[in-house]
């Protein structure tokens, strides 16, 4: 059993529990061997003795261990100790995409696309290694504190040994593909469907299909059309809507056929969001005649055998009851469920007859659809306006507002209401016996009339029998106009607007107009010029941002991205981040200005040179001129520059392109003493002592000069 403080495999110290799932718990740990923090996923005790669960746990590790990508949580180690099965993974500090969506209610279009691109890149790397995730959902996507998006939990992934894999895994039902919900074939395009549902949730803050039971939700994935995300968020561009639609097609053949295709369209939508460039596979191609193989026939029979259970599921959906099928399902905390399927069913001859009849009916149905589509294309069949016409009508209608009834209402109340509707009220006064002073008599637009936003609406307001003549202030400076009007007892209200013919700070117009009368103390609105309309935008700061985030920020500010190149930068904190932008932060440029970016690849590698005359090793007192010396010059990184023998000093050297700032010179030479002769004083014998040879080593530290100085 795992306890805080225990050490696994003599290196991983368990520090704290940071998460839990259906089969495993996740702990933060310290890897003492490599001195880093890691995440350790441990199989729960109740499953550790079950061979099936242990096998599944190992499959997860083996599938994920082969993946190394910036957008995938990397697996470092896997093992078992004392009955504890564990996987050691990269520790990502951050939150799940699910919690991020809940925190922000919904994401902006550009942020959702940026995240989708990074997720797609991670999944693409897995698909390139023949690994299908099968459980793509916001809970399995982590956003780090640095903004990096990573896919995790390849809990039900299996290495693909063929183009498609049969699997009964349903995954988390809100994000499951129709083929997974049926328990049929699932391949890479199942991940594309689940990512499409995830994009839908990012953009709208909700999942497209919901229900009281998992069966009810699964049936919706199979039968119901995906609602438009623009029904919930109208500002979603058409290209993004179409990308989601294509990802979530019921038929895998009509979806994107690879993550690479999806990434291309996602990037295109960042640059041209309002273009309708997404192409869905022609249904005629999908309906072309194909030969049914024995394998297909067996699969059809299996689906037919399960028809009764699906009809029961439909009855459950209608009556909101639970069936014994749901009791047989085994779900983990992540919503994964498994169904048993009989693989040994024999071929039934009756099925061949049924299949033939179904094929004929399908052919007739497809033929009718083709005739209808061709007829509609040439104008034979027309049932109302096209989708584009409807979109245009909706856009036009969204710019119209219905004029409200204003007669008899207080001026301030009417002004606030019109401003909230996007209309611009202008005031004129009129003596009235019918209306009290300060009430609106009428407007220049009739109640109930549909008018465009930003339209000027003239309000005629009742005044007493006596009024004050409004002086002319148009063309005067704001301060002068205010002084004149206040002198007459009026209250001044100022609005601003662009006008290329009126100098900035001067009055463009006034309401009520000059020479009309208005009650003393009433409000006079003056519109002050800001000069010609400013089309410039302020350049944002993208230094320190990832390339993807920088692109999003610049596009959101109406700027274009030019060339993005790599460069050296001394600041190590900017590695793999933008370290240069071609326009200064805070400067004003025209909309659409192209901004070039440079991404840091780290500090430039300095190079050094060594141009010297190496002198003799006189540090050793036994050295004598003319001795044969072995000289070795080595840099601190182990590069050997010189290895030679000489008896003549100094030795001239000239080296360049050295990558270390310092090194050593090592001298080796042999000191030999002459033989000596002595006489023994007692015996008078002559004793000869032979000379000795001693190898000496002298080491001298040296520094090199930088080549750029």
Catalytic residue positions, numbered: 135
What DSSP element (H or E) covers 30?
Answer: strand 24-31
| Cα distance between residue 461 and residue 458, in whole Å | 10
Q: How far is CA 354 from CA 306, 358, 365, in A?
A: 15, 6, 16
Least Cα distance to 479 among 420, 528, 416 occurs for 528
In this structure, the strands spanning 7-8 and 12-20 are: antiparallel
Handedness of CA 615, 619, 621, 623 (dihedral sign): negative
- How far is residue 334 CA from its own chain's centroid? 22
Question: What DSSP string describes 238-303?
Answer: HHHHHHHHHHT-SSGGGS-SSHHHHHHHHHHHHH-TT-----PPPHHHHTS--PPPHHHHHHHHHH
Strand extents, DSSP E, 555-692: 560-567, 578-581, 588-590, 594-600, 608-614, 629-635, 640-646, 651-658, 662-672, 676-679, 686-689
Contact 114, 549 (CB under 8 A): yes
| Cα distance between residue 645 and residue 626, in whole Å | 12
Alpha carbons within 13 angstroms on the beta-carbon side of residue 40 total: 28
Largest Cα span, the chain? 158
Least Cα distance to 185 among 199, 208, 168, 202 occurs for 168
Cβ–Cβ contacts within 10 Å for residue 467, how many? 18
Question: What DSSP string describes 358-402?
Answer: HHHHHHHHHHHHHHHHHHHHHTS---S--HHHHHHHHHHHHTEEE
Q: Which two tokens stand for residue 686?
A: 């002559």
Cβ–Cβ contacts within 10 Å for residue 11, how many? 15
| Cα distance between residue 246 and residue 258, in whole Å | 12
Long-range contacts of 49-52 (CB under 8 A, 24+ apart): 49/83
Q: Which two tokens stand for residue 417?
A: 């209401």
Q: Which two tokens stand for residue 486?
A: 């206040």
Handedness of CA 648, 652, 655, 660 (dihedral sign): positive
């Amino acid at each position: 059993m795992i306890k805080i403080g225990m050490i696994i495999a003599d290196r991983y110290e368990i520090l704290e529990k940071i998460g839990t799932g259906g089969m495993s718990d996740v702990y933060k740990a310290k890897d003492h061997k490599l001195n880093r923090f890691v995440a350790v996923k441990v199989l729960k005790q109740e499953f550790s003795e079950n061979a099936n669960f242990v096998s599944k746990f190992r499959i997860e590790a083996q599938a994920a261990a082969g993946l190394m990508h910036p957008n995938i949580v990397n697996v470092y180690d896997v093992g078992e100790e004392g009955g504890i099965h564990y996987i050691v993974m990269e520790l990502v500090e951050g939150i799940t995409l699910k919690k991020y969506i809940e925190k922000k209610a919904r994401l902006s279009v550009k942020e959702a696309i940026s995240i989708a691109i990074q997720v797609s890149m991670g999944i693409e790397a897995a698909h390139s290694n023949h690994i299908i995730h099968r459980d793509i959902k916001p809970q399995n996507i982590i956003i780090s504190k640095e903004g990096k998006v990573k896919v995790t939990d390849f809990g039900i992934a299996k290495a693909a040994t063929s183009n498609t894999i049969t699997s009964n895994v349903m995954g988390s039902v809100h994000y499951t593909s129709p083929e997974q919900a049926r328990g049929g074939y699932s391949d890479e395009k199942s991940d594309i469907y689940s990512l499409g549902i995830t994009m839908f949730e990012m953009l709208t803050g909700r999942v497209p299909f919901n229900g009281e039971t998992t069966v009810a939700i699964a049936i919706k994935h199979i039968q119901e059309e995906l609602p438009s995300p623009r029904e919930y968020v109208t500002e979603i561009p058409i290209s993004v809507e179409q990308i989601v639609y294509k990802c979530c097609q019921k038929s895998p053949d009509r979806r994107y056929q690879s993550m690479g295709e999806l990434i291309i369209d996602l990037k295109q939508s960042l640059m041209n969001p309002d273009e309708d460039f997404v192409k869905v596979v022609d249904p005629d191609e999908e309906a072309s005649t194909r030969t049914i193989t024995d394998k297909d026939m067996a699969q059809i029979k299996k689906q037919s055998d399960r028809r009764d259970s699906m009809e029961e599921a439909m009855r459950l959906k209608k009556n909101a009851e639970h069936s014994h099928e749901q009791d047989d399902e085994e779900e983990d905390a992540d919503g994964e469920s498994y169904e048993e399927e009989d693989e040994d069913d024999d071929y039934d001859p009756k099925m061949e007859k049924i299949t033939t009849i179904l094929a004929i009916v399908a052919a007739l149905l497809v033929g009718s659809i083709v005739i209808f589509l061709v007829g509609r294309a040439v104008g034979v069949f027309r049932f109302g306006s096209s989708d584009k016409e409807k979109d245009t009508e909706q856009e036009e209608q969204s710019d119209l507002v219905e004029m409200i009834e204003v007669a008899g209402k207080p001026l301030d109340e009417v002004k606030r209401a019109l401003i909230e509707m996007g209309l611009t009220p202008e005031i004129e006064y009129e003596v009235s016996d019918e209306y009290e002073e300060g009430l609106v008599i009428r407007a220049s637009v009739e109640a109930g009339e549909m008018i465009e936003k930003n339209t000027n609406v003239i309000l005629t307001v009742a005044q007493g029998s006596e009024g004050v003549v409004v002086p002319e202030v148009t063309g005067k400076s704001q301060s002068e106009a205010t002084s004149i009007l206040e002198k007459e007892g009026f209250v001044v209200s100022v609005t601003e607007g662009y006008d290329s013919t009126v100098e900035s700070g001067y009055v463009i117009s006034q309401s009520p107009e000059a020479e009309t009368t208005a009650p003393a103390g009433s409000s006079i609105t003056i519109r002050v010029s800001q000069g010609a309309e400013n089309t410039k935008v302020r350049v944002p700061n993208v230094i320190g941002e990832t390339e993807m985030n920088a692109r999003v920020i610049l596009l959101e500010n109406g700027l274009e991205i030019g060339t993005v190149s790599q460069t050296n930068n001394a600041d190590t904190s900017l590695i793999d981040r933008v370290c240069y932008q071609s326009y200064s932060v805070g400067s004003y440029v025209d909309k659409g200005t192209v901004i070039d970016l440079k991404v840091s690849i780290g500090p430039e590698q300095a190079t050094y040179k060594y141009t010297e005359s190496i002198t003799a090793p006189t540090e050793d007192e036994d050295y004598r001129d003319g001795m044969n010396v072995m000289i070795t010059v080595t840099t601190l990184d182990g590069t050997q520059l010189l290895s030679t023998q000489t008896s003549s000093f100094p030795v001239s050297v000239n080296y360049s392109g050295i990558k270390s700032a310092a090194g050593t010179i090592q001298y080796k030479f042999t000191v030999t003493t002459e033989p000596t002769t002595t006489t023994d004083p007692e015996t008078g014998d002559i004793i000869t002592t032979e000379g000795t040879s001693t190898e000496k080593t002298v080491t001298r530290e040296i520094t090199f000069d930088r080549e750029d100085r």
